[in-house]
Structure 1
């Protein structure tokens, strides 16, 4: 380069530095070799410390930030704002959540396993016996902790009485506890009074030859009344009379003659909620009975005092990432999502594209579940995911594993940290990138965080509620699509 050109280059560089500093700064800034998200450690720890002091206000209306366009909308609340028993410390709260999540994952897997083996999904209490199928586990020791991390509020009957239900995309029958309760332990402890069908003018028992009764997987007849039973894979069960009743939604919209189980004998992991809303793919589920073309929900942070909504027939957010909604012909209750891979730090993991597919026997696949706490994936996929994550977080101080997690970090001295982005790869080159707070799970109040994924001991993979926080999950039933949209709570 001659002297005149050298002077010209230096002049242009000096001129650019004065008038276009951003141009040079972009060139000089060292770019991270992989994709990261910023995790606000301080905010997470502060929220955890405040969680124990949250005061439940079960019958006071709260509002979400998301304005639903649907007239059929239910308020959706994290458990602590509805039922917050006294915990010794934040670690005790976490252990209770993990116990509920583990029981839930076991329940879903055993339900599927039993169905694929051709057995009954339920026990035989309605036929006069307390014996249960050999694949059904006993009620776990976590029964006193209750089930579900999110409660939906819905009005029942005429006049309307408000109750909290656990929404469940993994089952079909909606039910609530009813008076009279059979025996000393016929009803578990719930928030508010137990529903008395005699107090509702719109309550109507269904006969054994009714269309709704024939939709049940297991039913019996007692004096021409249709008797239902639902038994879950963790040993929890509900037995009672199938009836129709009026449901009332947030905007004072009421739908009459919806089927609901009136449970007189209920036992297991249901403490707190009055019952369960079935949102599965079966014909008797609430979404099917409403003839809904879609439904969606968004889960706020587990430690938040905010609420969100569960909506039917609402428009899907325009920025939703979509993936095919997959049907398992061997078990129509579960709603599966098409996932073709995972990535860490923007780099696809070297795993088989069939890792999350349903095989010819009906086993495998991946579902999105609000009741399971931590995402569970096949053990070989988990090993690759963990190793990739650990390889990109060598700058973070490690901590001993905290059961059931094997990869943990001591972030007590950190305010913010950069963590590699974890994503589910969907068809069509879509990538569902998870926020950093959805990838690290806080296990105590001191600042210990663990990788929020677990290896599954079952073929079924489950995307848990920690990974869903802040993401609106939409089921477009008319077009068989599942949508994911961030910041839509």
Structure 2
């Protein structure tokens, strides 16, 4: 990907990038409540056609401060938040922007304010980062949109208490969308949205369990919960590709999935994935349905394409979950594709609406 010496526009702090090497579509059909049908042939064909993916991305959609009358560099990041109350408010030192991500991507630049225009509406003095040196998975992007819970995230700056986004498949001709001021759909699967005062940027899910093939994993509910110190819990993140589960939960999920796929030929693991299959001779397969469970008996069943993904062009598919040594688990964007995820911050709720992109 390399390093790019250009101005890249960032709006803080929780990011929308899809950090995954998978660029293929899988077209599943849900057959019964405990299993899903996967169209393998279509997935393999799409993977073979994906070599031009990087070439089709628009590059260098960079922001030009000199062409903007509303662009303003800020003197001190903490001063910018607290204003004249901060002792360094009159400092002549420009606020430095340095952000790094778990996949090794990073950006270095300046803290600034700019007028943000969405449709016919404009908002002045929106805090942004203007990156001069950017390395990693930023190719083709004009910037990154921050939707987290921090003061500098866009929802806080827009003073909105609700928003939603829908991530389409990576090779889709459609466009992923984000809406501000949108309500949770009436047919959505609604779950508690929890916050951690130690890490106010993250959105935590009130998850009560995970099932595979209609059978709940034998994991204590406490394993999904955040403790009194703020450790543990499960966050939802549009900037992480693959869902990472605590080792105990992941091992239980993997073992249950393997038990339900004994008729499929196993393949060697690939990168972070240790549960892979050789499906080169298959056209369709039936796999156990993976579902997330929430309070009140509510359940979000994932389509097969959101957890069985192709990793090459010759028919190797892997279970798209991975273990983490961290006490905190992450629901990533592969598992969110094709689902509108709506945040009701005022009522501390999150809603999932399938096929609402």
Quickly name the TM-score band, shorter chain normalised: 0.7 to 0.9
> Of 378, 398, 408, which residue of structure 1 is paired with 2:246?
378
Aligned mates of 2:65, 2:93 — CA distance in 1: 14
Number of the residue aligned with 1:479: 347
Q: 1:207 to 1:371 in 2, by over 3 A?
A: closer
Gaps of 5+ in 1: 1-31, 57-80, 84-190
Number of the residue aligned with 1:466: 334
Aligned mates of 2:51, 2:298 — CA distance in 1: 38
> Of 115, 123, 132, which residue of structure 2 is paired with 1:246?
115
Number of the residue aligned with 2:292: 424
CA contact (8 A) 2:183 2:342 kept: no
Number of the residue aligned with 2:235: 367
CA contact (8 A) 2:77 2:96 kept: no
Q: 1:197 to 1:372 in 2, by over 3 A?
A: same
Matches within 5 A, 1:156-167: none
Aligned mates of 1:198, 1:271 — CA distance in 2: 23
Shift of 1:35: 1.0
Number of the residue aligned with 1:286: 154
Is 1:82 the counterpart of 2:72 in the alignment? no
Number of the residue aligned with 1:456: 324
More helix, by proportion: 1
Question: Which TM-score applies when normalising by structure 2?
Answer: 0.82
Shift of 1:82: 2.6
1:118-164 deviation line (CA, Å, top 9, x unaligned): xxxxxxxxxxxxxxxxxxxxxxxxxxxxxxxxxxxxxxxxxxxxxxx
Number of the residue aligned with 2:194: 326
> Of 425, 436, 440, which residue of structure 1 is paired with 2:308?
440
Aligned mates of 1:332, 1:209 — CA distance in 2: 18
Aligned mates of 2:32, 2:300 — CA distance in 1: 20
Number of the residue aligned with 2:28: none
Structure with bigger gyration radius: 1
Number of the residue aligned with 2:142: 274
Aligned mates of 1:286, 1:431 — CA distance in 2: 30
More strand, by proportion: 2
CA contact (8 A) 2:61 2:141 kept: no
Report which structure shows greater RCO (CA 8 Å, sep ≥6). Answer: 2
CA contact (8 A) 2:97 2:111 kept: no
Number of the residue aligned with 1:14: none
Number of the residue aligned with 2:36: 37
Secondary structure, counterpart of 1:467 in structure 2: coil
Matches within 5 A, 1:400-419: 400-419=268-287
Secondary structure, counterpart of 2:156 in structure 1: helix
Aligned mates of 1:286, 1:300 — CA distance in 2: 21
Number of the residue aligned with 1:358: 226
Count of residue pairs the alignment pairs up: 324
Secondary structure, counterpart of 2:37 in structure 1: strand
Is 1:339 the counterpart of 2:314 in the alignment? no
RMSD over aligned CA atoms reads 2.7
Q: 1:371 to 1:201 in 2, by over 3 A?
A: same
Question: Which TM-score applies when normalising by structure 1?
Answer: 0.61
Number of the residue aligned with 2:47: 48
Aligned mates of 1:256, 1:410 — CA distance in 2: 54
CA contact (8 A) 2:183 2:344 kept: no
